[in-house]
Structure 1
Amino acid sequence: MFRSNDQWALNRQSESFRATKAQLALLLVATGCATLADRFNSHVLTALSALLYGLTVVTGVVIQRRRARAHWQAHRDAAEIVKSLAWQYMVHGGPFPTGVPDPEGLFHQQLEEHLRPLRRIGWREPSEGRQTGDPRYPEITRAMRTVRVQPFATRRDIYLRDRVLDQLGWYSGRAVQAHRAAATWSMLTVLLTLLALSAALARSTGIAANWDLSGLLAAAAATGVAWMETRRHHPLSYAHELVREALETQRIVLATSAPEGQWSQTVADTEQLMSPQHTDWLARFGG
């Protein structure tokens, strides 16, 4: 169920980014054609510019109707819900502590309660999303049951190694990647803005009176800013770094000072740190 939703989320994310990239590229090329049409007094370039602006509008309408971003976020939330609940079930964390009656039935109930709000906004479960094991609880795999019956020390080691350390590596990599992308795009937009300023000054002083490139360069800079806002490089770099730091602290707590009696709550707190909602909340302050 996680894998199918994860794949749908990746597909929708790629579709959303491709559509936005196409829309921004059409706007930029249309502006370039308009600039050349003004310079050479070309009716053909003017018509081409108008056509490209029209295609930009059509692309925007298609983006709105496809709702790729909304579907991407819904499938991503579903995938993370499934993964988090599965880990909590396996290691006796959160609502599944040692001794809880009917943990399988509780897992099914918790999963349905978490997915119900997503269904209300249009999320549909992929047909390949459920397992084909126990017909009563098809979401619970054999591997999940195998981990759940292990002793506390074994479950703790599995959780630290395969969940916490894995996520630490992921957040570290994404923080570095987002920081580099933010720095690259910021430098590019600053450069384009300075070039637009230089072009405007050159035209106003008569050095390049026959060319008006300031509008095209300003449009290119605006395109870079819009792409950065779409990819959220700055806020995600900030959020991923904060999650990584908090998760490293939590890893030490889990490994050294979390007794079995407090284990379920400590795991729940750790899973909360890794939730998409927590990352989005942090990203709002990193913009």
Structure 2
Amino acid sequence: MSFEIDYPALYYPADADSLAGQHRFVRATRLRLFALFAAAVGGAGSIEAGSLDLFGLLGLLSFVVALGTSAYLQATDPARHWYDGRTASEFIKTLTWRYVAGGNPFPRSLTAEAADRAFRSQLAEGIELEKLPAPRVGTPTKQITDRMRELRGRPFTQRRQDYRDGRIEEQRLWHARKADVNEQRKNTFTGIAITLEFAGVVGAAFKAFGLLDIDLLGVFSAAAAGLAAWMQARSYGDNQRAYARTAHQLGLIADELDTVTEDDWPRFVDQAENALSSEHIQWRAAKGLGPPRQRGTTSAAES
């Protein structure tokens, strides 16, 4: 299912910064854990090449790489760009859909000028601009796009269908897919962890009975510890539960959507967007962050 919508100009640098930060964090974390595993391999045995111990050299180089990636993560903090960018982009998306659907705090009872003022005001209030990357020369600056105004101007029944297709169903399917992917990865990595633990038992037996000079116990222990650290960093289990819960909530919302009247529509959209925002709040909590900065959601008609 595809639904075209142009988001405010601030959305795109926030989203790009979040994705770039996530990719840098994941790549650096993966490299660091592989380097620590390689260092464990380097300490497990010894192969002499003249005056040089190749296993020792592997351990040395691996620790240098691990130290370098740790310094990189500390100095650049890509996770912070990931978290801040996602917070900003998610806020802009929910604010945009409230506006185009005619939900609170931008009901269609407002004049076009009042709705636009309220949207710009909440956008400025809700985004921590200092945390976004600097804008590039020539990038768009329009925060209320022509497409947004077109969608907002449609009759109620069309706006309700647009909201179903472009927001509720799109997000329900996205969360369902993400839940499935995280479930599969959790099961895969859990299976690998069990295999490594069994291999560690075998390695310990070899060491105990002097059957092998290489310290397989240390190698498999390091591999299991690294895998555990990776699973903790990616939070597959927690993510699967959060995505599945949101997908089910959106299914319930979709089931109710066609029965909502125009009078109840602003309130319904507000509740639906709050349900979507709750997943992001839980995601921040799982990352050890506080809730997003409080933002006003009072209807402009009431302010």
TM-score range, shorter chain: 0.7 to 0.9
Indicate yes or no: 2:92 matched with 1:82. yes
Amino acid at match of 1:8: D
List aligned pairs for 1:84-163, cutoff 5 A: 84-101=94-111, 102-116=114-128, 119=130, 122-124=131-133, 126-127=135-136, 131-132=140-141, 138-163=142-167
Question: Any conservation in 2 of the 1:5–1:129 contact (CA below 8 Å)?
Answer: no
SS across alignment from 2:105: coil
In 1, distance between residues paired with 2:138 and 2:188?
39
In 2, distance between residues paired with 1:231 and 1:12?
14
Aligned identity (percent) is 27
Distance 1:242 1:17, change over 3 A: same
User: 2:66 corresponds to which residue?
Assistant: 56
Amino acid at match of 1:71: H
In 2, distance between residues paired with 1:280 and 1:249?
21
Distance 1:125 1:243, change over 3 A: farther
User: 2:269 corresponds to which residue?
Assistant: 267
List aligned pairs for 1:190-209, cutoff 5 A: 190-206=194-210, 208-209=211-212
Amino acid at match of 1:81: F
Which structure features the higher share of helix residues? 1
Amino acid at match of 2:123: L
Please give the per-residue CA displacement for 1:169-199, whole angstroms capped at 9, x wherever unaligned.
1011111000000000010011101110221
Question: Any conservation in 1 of the 2:176–2:244 contact (CA below 8 Å)?
Answer: yes
- Structure 1 runs (4+) greater than 6 angstroms displaced: 38-42
User: 2:297 corresponds to which residue?
Assistant: none
In 2, distance between residues paired with 1:282 and 1:246?
19
User: 1:36 corresponds to which residue?
Assistant: 45
In 2, distance between residues paired with 1:48 and 1:209?
20
Q: CA deviation at 1:253?
A: 1.8
Q: CA deviation at 1:80?
A: 1.4
Q: Which moved more, 1:226-235 or 1:31-40?
A: 31-40
CA RMSD of aligned residues (A): 2.4
Question: Any conservation in 2 of the 1:239–1:282 contact (CA below 8 Å)?
Answer: no
Amino acid at match of 2:62: L
In 1, distance between residues paired with 2:47 and 2:163?
64
Q: CA deviation at 1:50?
A: 2.6
Q: Which moved more, 1:37-46 or 1:81-90?
A: 37-46
Q: CA deviation at 1:144?
A: 0.6
Please give the per-residue CA displacement for 1:43-74, whole angstroms capped at 9, x wherever unaligned.
34324413321331221011111111110111
Amino acid at match of 1:266: F
Q: CA deviation at 1:149?
A: 1.3
Which 5+ residue runs of structure 2 have no aligned equivalent? 1-8, 288-303
In 2, distance between residues paired with 1:17 and 1:42?
34
TM-score by length of 2: 0.83
Distance 1:282 1:272, change over 3 A: farther
Please give the per-residue CA displacement for 1:219-262, whole angstroms capped at 9, x wherever unaligned.
01111111111111111011100000011001112222x22222
Indicate yes or no: 2:232 matched with 1:234. no
SS across alignment from 1:261: coil
Q: Which moved more, 1:241-250 or 1:99-108?
A: 99-108
Amino acid at match of 1:230: A
- Aligned counterpart for 1:246 among listed residues 249, 253, 267: 249
- Aligned counterpart for 2:34 among listed residues 12, 15, 25: 25
In 2, distance between residues paired with 1:58 and 1:130?
35
User: 1:164 corresponds to which residue?
Assistant: 168
